[in-house]
């Protein structure tokens, strides 16, 4: 099992649901956290270009590059 200290977890709660956002986890550990049919990948264009072929078969939202694009 992956080292939980290697990533940041943010939980987003609404009135009826909660979602867990994993930041910084290694790609090879990603499938340990993905509930089947209940996840998407949000990535920037650079990561998509470099590692997109390693992503699990999930919907992908590609955002622009740069730190200003990576805010909640």
Chunked into runs of 10 residues, the chain (72 residues) has average pLDDT values of 65 89 78 76 90 87 80 62
pLDDT at 71: 65
What is the C-alpha separation between 59 and 55, in angstroms, rounded?
10
What is the SS3 assignment for 23? strand
Biggest CA–CA distance in the chain, Å, is 37
- pLDDT tens, position by position, 54-67: 888 888 999 888 77
């Amino acid at each position: 099992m992956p080292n939980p200290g290697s990533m940041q977890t943010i939980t987003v709660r609404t009135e009826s649901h909660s979602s867990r956002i994993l930041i910084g986890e290694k790609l090879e550990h990603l499938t340990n956290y993905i509930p089947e049919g209940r996840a998407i990948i949000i990535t920037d264009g650079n990561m998509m270009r470099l590692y997109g072929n390693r992503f699990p078969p999930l919907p992908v939202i590609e955002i622009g590059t740069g730190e200003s694009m990576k805010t909640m």
